[in-house]
């Protein structure tokens, strides 16, 4: 009994530390955008120039995320994690001392480098440090803190900027991230993954089962890996587009004030946080990730179609946005279980790096596509396009599940 309790306590501590790091990553996704009005006035920038900063952030993060998985498999997750958080601190400091657009670009590049390491690091640590029965709960808490990071950043940055100025807001963000780095450093023993042991286990597994790919890049030939990548690409393209343009679309379709529409985005994030918690419980109990994902996405498709009609009562819109977020959140733990099933032995960091790079590329591409529709005066196309993206996700789920079933059965 003591051993079991000790193992559970260790799981809780590891999950808490990794989730803290992940929340800080999402916090930095939205450190820059709330400061756009201040930066626009300070440096006479256009909205296009400000938007390019976020594109730079996500494109750099996409490239680094794909590459950092290989580094995690080679040297371990912990040093990569500390480096990434240190880069986020540096980026916020550069933002705070910027004297022009060039320094903002440098800050965005450094922030993208720091952000790009988190998913390969986080999921490698979770899968190797958390006991299998607690994995759905780990994925759930990991997702919740990400959504909470999104929700916290605008209030944190705008609140401090209003009390002082935008430079102090960025400096405060740097201090906050530095505190998180100190907390993780003080608990670094909980974040150590034995790379040598993992490699030896992988070689042993390969000798007995033949499941290990023959080269460092052989996993790229696996269809399940690219299906998971497509899942993340379409999912994040939908989410980021909704976050970017829903207030404007609701104003044009339903005459909802822009300030009120921005509040609905907060409801979306809070709904997602609650959905992830419930989704972790559901994934652990049902052990049927493909059914959970397809069912939730089918419901969100119906809600987006309803919004596109223009006939939804304005009083129902905040409820729909909260439920949309809840549905997206429920999907997340089951989605992560599907990726784990599709991951061959010994290449976890690489697979997570490639697969989760779809998130960054989707975040960069989605708003660009739907921004053109918005400029063309087609706000309903936002919700219709999101429906199409979600419909493209559903078949990938069942295909990944089918291709992963033989590996899962062999492992068991």
Give the pLDDT confidence score for residue 153 in this predicted structure.
85
pLDDT at 54 over 60: yes
Give the pLDDT confidence score for residue 227 in this predicted structure.
84
The Cα 234–Cα 294 span in angstroms is: 14
Give the pLDDT confidence score for residue 186 in this predicted structure.
95
Give the Cβ contact number of residue 214 at 10 Å.
8
Minimum mean pLDDT range among 74-78, 128-132, 242-246:
242-246
Q: What is the maximum alpha-carbon separation in the chain?
A: 64
Q: Looking at the chain, which residues constitute the CATH 1.20.1250.20 domain(s)?
A: 10-187, 216-407
CB 80 within 8 A of CB 71: yes
The Cα 216–Cα 347 span in angstroms is: 8
Structure tokens at 268: 């979306």
Average pLDDT over residues 202-215: 51
Give the pLDDT confidence score for residue 223 in this predicted structure.
78
pLDDT at 410 over 80: no
pLDDT at 377 over 90: no
Greater model confidence, 210 or 82 = 82
CB 53 within 8 A of CB 32: yes
pLDDT at 200 over 60: no
What's the burial of 190, exposed, middle or buried (CB within 10 Å: 0-12/13-18/19+)?
Answer: middle
Q: Is 91 helix (H, G, I), strand (E, B) or coil?
A: helix
Tell me the residue length of the chain.
412
Give the Cβ contact number of residue 397 at 10 Å.
23
Of all residues in the chain, the percent with pLDDT exceeding 70 is: 88
Closest by CA to 375, choosing from 239, 262, 244, 257, is: 244
Give the Cβ contact number of residue 340 at 10 Å.
21
Average pLDDT over residues 22-29: 93
Q: How confident is the model at residue 194 (pLDDT cuts 50, 70, 90)?
A: low
The Cα 181–Cα 121 span in angstroms is: 15
Radius of gyration of the chain (CA): 21
The Cα 195–Cα 51 span in angstroms is: 40
Structure tokens at 184: 């993780």
What's the burial of 299, exposed, middle or buried (CB within 10 Å: 0-12/13-18/19+)?
Answer: middle
End-to-end CA distance of the chain: 25
Q: What is the pLDDT of residues 307-344, one digit of tens each?
A: 999 999 999 999 999 999 999 999 888 888 888 777 77
Q: What is the pLDDT of residues 84-134, one digit of tens each?
A: 999 999 999 999 999 999 999 999 999 999 999 998 899 889 988 888 888
Residue located via tokens 């976890």? 348
The Cα 139–Cα 195 span in angstroms is: 22
Q: What is the pLDDT of residues 139-179, one digit of tens each?
A: 888 888 988 898 888 889 888 998 999 999 999 999 999 99
pLDDT at 212 over 50: no
Q: How confident is the model at residue 196 (pLDDT cuts 50, 70, 90)?
A: low
The Cα 138–Cα 381 span in angstroms is: 36
The Cα 101–Cα 83 span in angstroms is: 25
Among left, alpha and beta (phi > 0; psi -120 to 50; other), residue 76 is left
Average pLDDT over residues 403-407: 55
The Cα 49–Cα 68 span in angstroms is: 28
Q: What does each C-alpha distance from 170 to 6, 148, 184, 263, 365 come to in angstroms?
A: 40, 19, 21, 23, 26
Q: Mean of the per-residue pLDDT values for the chain?
A: 84
Q: How confident is the model at residue 408 (pLDDT cuts 50, 70, 90)?
A: very low
The Cα 333–Cα 280 span in angstroms is: 5
Give the pLDDT confidence score for residue 42 in this predicted structure.
94
CATH number corresponding to 216-407: 1.20.1250.20
Q: Is 207 helix (H, G, I), strand (E, B) or coil?
A: helix
Architecture of domain 10-187: Up-down Bundle (1.20)
pLDDT at 295 over 70: yes
């Amino acid at each position: 009994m003591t051993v079991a309790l000790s193992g559970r306590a260790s799981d809780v501590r590891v999950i808490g530390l990794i989730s803290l790091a992940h929340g800080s990553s999402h916090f930095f996704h939205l450190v820059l955008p709330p400061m756009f009005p201040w930066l626009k006035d300070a440096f006479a920038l256009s909205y296009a120039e400000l938007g390019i900063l976020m594109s730079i952030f996500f494109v750099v993060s996409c490239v680094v995320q794909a590459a950092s998985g290989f580094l995690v498999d080679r040297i371990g997750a912990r040093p990569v994690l500390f480096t990434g958080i240190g880069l986020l601190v540096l980026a916020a400091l550069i933002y705070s001392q910027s004297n022009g657009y060039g320094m903002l670009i440098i800050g965005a590049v450094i922030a993208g480098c720091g952000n790009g390491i988190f998913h390969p690091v986080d999921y490698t640590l979770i899968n190797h440090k958390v006991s299998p029965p607690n994995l759905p709960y780990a994925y759930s808490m990991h997702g919740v803190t990400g959504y909470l990071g999104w929700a916290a950043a605008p209030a944190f940055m705008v609140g401090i900027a209003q009390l002082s100025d935008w430079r102090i807001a960025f400096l405060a963000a740097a201090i906050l991230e530095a505190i998180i780095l100190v907390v993780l450093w003080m608990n670094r023993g909980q974040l150590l993954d034995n790379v040598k042991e993992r490699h030896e286990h992988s070689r042993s597994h390969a000798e007995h089962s033949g499941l290990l790919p023959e080269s460092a890049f052989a996993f790229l030939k696996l269809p399940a890996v690219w299906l998971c990548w497509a899942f993340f690409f379409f999912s994040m393209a939908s989410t980021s587009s909704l976050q970017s343009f829903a207030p404007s679309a609701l104003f044009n379709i339903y005459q909802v004030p822009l300030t009120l529409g921005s509040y609905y985005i907060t409801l979306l994030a809070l709904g997602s946080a609650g959905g992830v918690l419930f989704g972790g419980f559901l994934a652990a109990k049902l052990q049927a990730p493909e059914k959970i994902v397809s069912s939730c996405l089918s419901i969100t498709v119906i809600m987006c179609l309803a919004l596109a009609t223009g006939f939804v009562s304005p009083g129902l819109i905040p409820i729909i946005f909260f439920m949309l977020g809840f549905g997206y959140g429920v999907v997340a733990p089951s989605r992560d279980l599907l990726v784990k099933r599709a991951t061959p032995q010994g290449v976890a960091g690489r697979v997570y790096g490639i697969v989760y790079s779809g998130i960054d590329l989707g975040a960069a591409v989605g708003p660009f596509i739907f921004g053109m529709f918005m400029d063309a005066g087609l706000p309903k196309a936002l919700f219709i396009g999101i429906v199409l993206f979600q419909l493209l996700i559903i078949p990938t789920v069942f295909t990944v599940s089918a291709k992963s079933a033989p590996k899962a059965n062999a492992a068991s």
